[in-house]
Amino acid sequence: MTITETSPSRTIDIETLSFTSGAHLLLKRALRDLPVGGRLGVRASATDFAIHLRGWCREQGHEFVGGDDQFVAWVVRGAASQGRWRGAERAGLSDARENDAVRAAPPADWGFAARGAAIEAGGPEFYYPLQTKEQVWAENLPKLYAQAVAAQWNPQTAINWDEPFAPDEEMERAVAQMMTYLIENENAALQAPARFIAQIHPHFREVLQLLSVQIADEARHVEVFTRRVTLRGGEMGLSTVSGRQSLKTLLDEPDFALASFLLSVLGEGTFLNLLWFLERHAPDPVTRQIARLVAQDEARHVAFGVGHLQYQLATDPALRERLAAAVIRRHDALSQTAGLNEEVFDALILLAAGSWRAEDIAAGYARAQTLKDEMRAGREARLEKLGFSDAEAAELSALHTRNFM
């Protein structure tokens, strides 16, 4: 097949190819670079080709001119021939690093279209409650997503499940109680952000991608904590009413900014300290490895929560008051509840003690108190990153749920 340039028209020989085997691709390609009114001489030998070509030209908005002994027909490129591309608007640019690539308020009817696609006008109206960049974006977002993807780990191979450690029934029970509590919190951390994914305009591709990876992280955390309990044939511990009450308030928060503040900035932020504590004090190497890997993931979840809220606060400083009000509201809702599962705190003390000797228990207790201080200080530091004063940060940090998450 050959296309020959003979200005101002061109010719094409499509040989025996018919419209039932893709002839239109070659015709479109040859017409693409011709100006409106430009002529394309078509040579073809498929049966009834001219009849089919005439129909195709009508559909595509080109003029069909009968041929001669050399050509089956001439096709004159029509003005309407750009079809769906005509008047199509570019939906930003695919690469978020380009200027103006990500629109501040993409129209809802862009729907699932790829960012950067040419959008044929019209079509159904989509409903995205989270439709502005301000509501979902973070300055460090593309980088955070790249890091999240690069840091994925396989539970089967990243953790040395066979690493030997001496069996101790009571330590195993304490570990199982801690894992039971962690799994419950992971379930909340998985479902709370998942509710928002379908509310976010797909134009903000990196937000959907990052949240999806975050949810996959939580699914992996549920897996490894579960595997740790069953590793030595252990049984799950206690799930308390107060724990479920605390976590349900996260799932019930309908506002994305407030939910990510409570969950990611305050809750997962507090969990970072807990996981680092377990990495340091867990009695066996498997639990320590798990805690280290999970903490790495959680640090990203916290970073997105902080980064997103910083972004939104830059244009909407009044959000700060709504964030504070959300902490107070949640505190009031939980004020009559029992707080942290006592079994969990006892398990923490025992794990940090490492034995039942009285002086070790005292040391474990002191470490658990230090952990609470570190959690409070961590929350205050993150609140200050969001522009709260020292005094406000201290007050809000103190009102955070006693369940940690």
> Would you tell me which residues interact with Fe ion (CB under 5 A)?
186, 189, 218, 221, 268, 298, 301
**Directed axis angle between helix 285-315 and helix 141-150, to 10°?**
170
Tell me how far apart the terminal alpha carbons of the chain are, to the nearest angstrom: 67
- Work out how close the CB of 299 gets to Fe ion at its nearest, in angstroms, rounded to a whole number: 9
- Work out how close the CB of 267 gets to Fe ion at its nearest, in angstroms, rounded to a whole number: 8
In the structure encoding, which two tokens stand for residue 309, read together? 């809220």
For residue 147, the SS3 value is helix
- Of 113 and 302, the one with the shorter C-beta distance to Fe ion is 302
Q: Which residues pair with residue 119 across a beta bridge?
A: 89
- Of 115 and 301, the one with the shorter C-beta distance to Fe ion is 301
Contact criterion met (CB below 8 Å) for 43 and 28 = no
- Work out how close the CB of 352 gets to Fe ion at its nearest, in angstroms, rounded to a whole number: 21
- Of 96 and 190, the one with the shorter C-beta distance to Fe ion is 190
- Of 77 and 221, the one with the shorter C-beta distance to Fe ion is 221
- Work out how close the CB of 324 gets to Fe ion at its nearest, in angstroms, rounded to a whole number: 23
- Of 12 and 210, the one with the shorter C-beta distance to Fe ion is 210
- Work out how close the CB of 300 gets to Fe ion at its nearest, in angstroms, rounded to a whole number: 8
Contact criterion met (CB below 8 Å) for 201 and 106 = yes
The CA distance from 376 to 382, in Å, is 10
- Of 295 and 348, the one with the shorter C-beta distance to Fe ion is 295
Contact criterion met (CB below 8 Å) for 363 and 290 = no
- Of 92 and 305, the one with the shorter C-beta distance to Fe ion is 305
Query: What totals of helices (H) and strands (E) does the chain contain, helices first?
Result: 15, 7
- Work out how close the CB of 259 gets to Fe ion at its nearest, in angstroms, rounded to a whole number: 13
ω into 285 cis (within 30 of 0): no
- Work out how close the CB of 214 gets to Fe ion at its nearest, in angstroms, rounded to a whole number: 6
Q: Are strands 73-76 and 89-90 parallel, antiparallel or unpaired?
A: unpaired
Q: Tokens 């972004």: give the residue.
A: 311
- Of 269 and 283, the one with the shorter C-beta distance to Fe ion is 269
In the structure encoding, which two tokens stand for residue 363, read together? 């040391």
Q: SS in 3 state form for 198-263?
A: CCECCCCHHHHHHHHHHHHHHHHHHHHHHHHHHHCCCCCCCCCHHHHHHHHHHHHCCCHHHHHHHH
- Work out how close the CB of 275 gets to Fe ion at its nearest, in angstroms, rounded to a whole number: 9
- Work out how close the CB of 182 gets to Fe ion at its nearest, in angstroms, rounded to a whole number: 8
Within 10 angstroms of residue 87's Cβ, the number of other Cβ atoms is 11
- Of 189 and 293, the one with the shorter C-beta distance to Fe ion is 189
